[in-house]
Amino acid sequence: MGEGAGKAVLARAAMAAVEPLVELFLELGVTSPEAESLLRSVFVHKAREWLAKPSTAEDSPSDVRVSLVTGVHRNFVRSILAEPPRIAAARAQKGHRASRLLEAWHSDPKYLDSSGKPRDLSEREQEPSFQSLASTYLPAAAPSMVLEELRRAGLVQMLSEHRVRVRNRTFRMHGVNASNISELGNRARELLETLTHNLRQPEARLFCEAMPSIEVDVARVPFVRDLIARRAGNFLAAMEQELAVEASGSRRRKSGERVRVGLTTIETER
C-alpha cells in the first residue's frame, strides 16, 4: 500500500471518530472555519506535548520542530502556543449569517406590524413571506434550509397553517451549551450581587422589586407569558433608550471611576 492510499484509509477511519464531534459542533453552532481553527490549535499544542515525551528525547521542542511535524508555519505555531487551545479570533464568526435576517425581521417595515413588532409570516404563500425575507437578506441560501436552521436553533416558532413566528432578534443556540451556561452564571451572579448589596448597604439600595404573584388557569399561561414578554420588552427598550442618553453624556465627561449599570426583568412561575 502506498503512502497516499494509507492516508486515505486513515482518513476514513478518523471520520468515524470525528463525525459525532462534527454533529456536536453543529448543535453548538460552531462553524467549519471555527472548528478547523480549533483543531489546528489543538493539533499544535498536542504536537508539542508529543515531541516533549521522554521517548522523543526533546525537553522543549522548538517552534521550528513543531512546525515541521504539524505542517503549520512556525510564525503561527508561536502565536498558537502562546495561549491555550482556542478558536483564532480571525476565524471566530462575528455573528451568525442568519443574524442579518433576524435583524431585518425586527426592523424592515415590510415585516413589522402597526405596533412596530415583527409579524408572523407565512412560509411562502403570500407576501410578505419568510421566503421573501430569506431571499432578500440571505440570497445565497435556500429559504427552506434557513428556516430549518432557525427552527433547530429555537429562533423561530412554527405555527399552524405554515406560519412562522420569530422568537429572538439575535442568533443564539438554545439548550445546554457553554455560552448559555455562562449566561446563566452571569444572570445568577447579577441577582445575588444586587441582593447582597441591598443587605449590606440598605441606605444605597439598588432597585429590586416584584409584584405579588397571581394564580392563573394553566390554559392562560401562554397568553400571560406573551403579555409579560411584550410589556417587559417595551419597558426594557424604553429604559435602554433613556440610559443611552446618560451613557453618551458620561462618555463626554470622562471622569475617573466608572460603574456598569444594568436592569434585568424576570418572569417567575411555580
Partner 1 sequence: MAKTTGSTKGQAKQRRVSAAQPSADSDDELLRDTLARELIGVCMATLRTYGLDNDRLAKLAVGAATGNSGQIRSATEVLAEAQRLADTTNKWVEDPAYRDVTGRPAVLSVRDGEGCSFATLAREFFPERAVADVVTLGCKANVLERVGPDKVALLNSTVLFIGNSLPILAYSIRTVRRFLCTAEFNRRVNSAVPEGWPDRTSFVDVSEDDFREFIRVFRPQISGLIEMSNRWLFQRSRLSRNRLKKKKVAGIQVFVFRE
The residue ranges that bind partner 1 (CB under 8 A) are 113-117, 119-120, 122, 125-126, 157, 159-161, 163, 165, 219-227, 230-231, 234, 237-238, 241
Q: 32: closest CA among 95, 101, 83, 92?
A: 92
Burial label, 164 (beta-carbon count in 10 A; 0-12, 13-18, 19+): buried
What residue has cell string 433547530?
A: 152
| Least gap, CB of 239 to partner 1 (angstroms) | 11
Closer CB to partner 1, 196 or 234, in the complex = 234
Give the span between the Cα atoms of 183 and 161, in whole angstroms.
35
| Least gap, CB of 118 to partner 1 (angstroms) | 11
Closer CB to partner 1, 19 or 127, in the complex = 127
Cβ atoms 34, 87 nearer than 8 A: yes
Closer CB to partner 1, 54 or 109, in the complex = 109
What residue has cell string 441591598?
A: 198
Cβ atoms 206, 194 nearer than 8 A: yes
| Least gap, CB of 41 to partner 1 (angstroms) | 43
Amino acid at residue number 163: R
Q: Which three cell numbers stand for residue 54?
A: 521522554
Closer CB to partner 1, 49 or 113, in the complex = 113
Amino acid at residue number 160: S
Closer CB to partner 1, 81 or 112, in the complex = 112
| Least gap, CB of 234 to partner 1 (angstroms) | 4
| Least gap, CB of 79 to partner 1 (angstroms) | 43
